[in-house]
């Protein structure tokens, strides 16, 4: 099934008896699902993304579940059980609910930008798992579930870290050895360094977010911040400010442009904001720097 936003999702029939509460982060989407009417329903899923199903409350008086690669199951007590559907696998079933179902769905893009390439997640051949329980994976999924309704969860480094932990747990559960990290931490690739430096240079007159800079080199904000600091020796926002101060220095050296105009030209709301940043970077005020340079 394809959602209203063109993204694959677990389909329910009839659809009107299900309430969906969606959330989306970098490379990871989630849905909190609640049954609104106690009547039989069917479900089906097959997509190029992985699906982790976390059933908080689910019991059926009758029903059957099929997951490609595994024997079909007629298990009735499904609460506190999880199911993992690898990308491309067919998952379907039906049930007569005995309680009002409440499950959480996590859709994981195997090549999502939230994942560290060293993890090897996109190269892992995952095995399907039906109605299992793992305490560590459950605990991580429960923390992510709590973020579905959290207003501050969008682009949160905490959520991105939880998403990465979830992927590590899935690899552990799959019995796959995680590739060892290199002896030293690596920063951005040369092409990424150039692209982000050019991106920042072209936007010295405006505000930049970590998400904007990360997107231009196809990384999650979490991994981008770490890699950027390793490559440039400072956090992204400090580098951005440094480049704005360098641009201010050039104008102070070569023109008689008033400080207020320089500040506005470089995207500062007022001259005092530029002055504060300038002093932090150079140890002197812009006016003092102009006198010394002159």
Cβ atoms of 107 and 51 within 8 Å: the answer is yes
Q: Which residue has the higher pLDDT, 275 or 74?
A: 74
**pLDDT at residue 80 above 90?**
yes
Task: Give the chain's largest Cα–Cα span.
Answer: 86
Q: Which residue has the higher pLDDT, 210 or 183?
A: 210
**Whole-number pLDDT of residue 125:** 86
d(CA 112, CA 50): 11
Q: What is the mean pLDDT of residues 82-102?
A: 95
The correct answer on CATH 2.60.120.10 for the domain covering 11-174 is: yes
Q: Which two tokens stand for residue 212?
A: 């904007």
Q: What is the mean pLDDT of the chain?
A: 85
The tens digit of pLDDT for each residue in 150-166 reads: 655 455 677 878 888 89
d(CA 174, CA 125): 9
Domains 190-234 and 238-293 share a fold: yes
**Whole-number pLDDT of residue 224:** 85
Q: Is the pTM of this model over 0.75?
A: no
The CA-atom distances, in angstroms, between 46 and each of 27, 83, 88, 110 are: 18, 14, 6, 14
Cβ atoms of 235 and 245 within 8 Å: the answer is no
**pLDDT at residue 176 above 80?**
no
**pLDDT at residue 236 above 50?**
yes
CA angle 218–234–268, rounded 5-degree value: 85
* Lowest mean pLDDT across 9-13, 94-98, 151-155: 151-155
Residue 14: cis peptide before it, omega within 30 degrees of 0? yes
Which H or E run includes 103?
strand 102-108
d(CA 222, CA 284): 33
The CA-atom distances, in angstroms, between 293 and each of 4, 23, 161 are: 60, 53, 46
**pLDDT at residue 3 above 50?**
no
Spans of all domains in the chain:
11-174, 190-234, 238-293
> Domain 190-234: what homologous superfamily?
Homeodomain-like (1.10.10.60)
**pLDDT at residue 252 above 80?**
yes
**Whole-number pLDDT of residue 210:** 86
Report CA dihedral (54, 56, 60, 63) to the nearest 10 degrees: -10
Confidence of residue 5 (pLDDT cuts 50, 70, 90): very low
* Lowest mean pLDDT across 1-10, 170-179, 192-201, 242-251: 1-10
**Whole-number pLDDT of residue 184:** 46
Portion of the chain with pLDDT greater than 90, in percent:
38
**Whole-number pLDDT of residue 227:** 87
CATH architecture of 238-293: Orthogonal Bundle (1.10)
């Amino acid at each position: 099934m394809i959602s209203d936003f063109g993204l694959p999702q677990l389909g329910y029939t009839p659809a009107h008896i299900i309430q969906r509460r969606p959330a989306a982060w970098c490379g990871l989407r989630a849905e909190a699902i609640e049954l609104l009417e106690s009547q039989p329903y069917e479900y089906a899923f097959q997509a190029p993304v992985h699906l982790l199903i976390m059933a908080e409350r689910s019991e059926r008086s009758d029903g059957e579940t099929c997951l490609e690669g595994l024997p079909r199951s007629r298990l009735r007590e499904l609460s506190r059980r999880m199911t993992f559907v690898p990308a491309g696998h067919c998952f379907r079933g039906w049930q007569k609910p005995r309680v009002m179902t409440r499950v959480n769905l996590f859709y994981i893009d195997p090549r999502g930008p939230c994942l560290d390439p060293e993890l090897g997640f996109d190269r892992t051949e995952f095995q399907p798992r039906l109605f299992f329980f793992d305490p560590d994976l459950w605990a991580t999924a429960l923390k992510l579930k709590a973020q579905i309704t959290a207003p501050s969860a969008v682009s949160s480094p905490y959520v991105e870290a939880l998403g990465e932990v979830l992927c590590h747990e899935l690899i552990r559960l799959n019995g796959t050895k995680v590739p060892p990290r290199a002896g030293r931490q690596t920063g951005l690739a040369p092409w990424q360094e150039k692209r982000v430096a050019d991106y920042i240079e072209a936007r010295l007159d405006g505000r930049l977010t970590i998400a904007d800079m990360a997107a231009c080199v196809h990384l999650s904000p979490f991994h981008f911040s770490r890699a950027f600091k390793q490559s440039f020796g400072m956090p992204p926002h400090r580098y951005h400010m440094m480049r704005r101060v360098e641009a201010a220095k050039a104008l102070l050296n070569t023109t008689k442009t008033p400080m207020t105009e320089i500040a506005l030209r470089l995207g500062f709301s007022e001259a005092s904001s530029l002055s504060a940043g300038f002093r932090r970077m150079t140890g002197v005020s812009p006016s003092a720097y102009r006198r010394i340079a002159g």
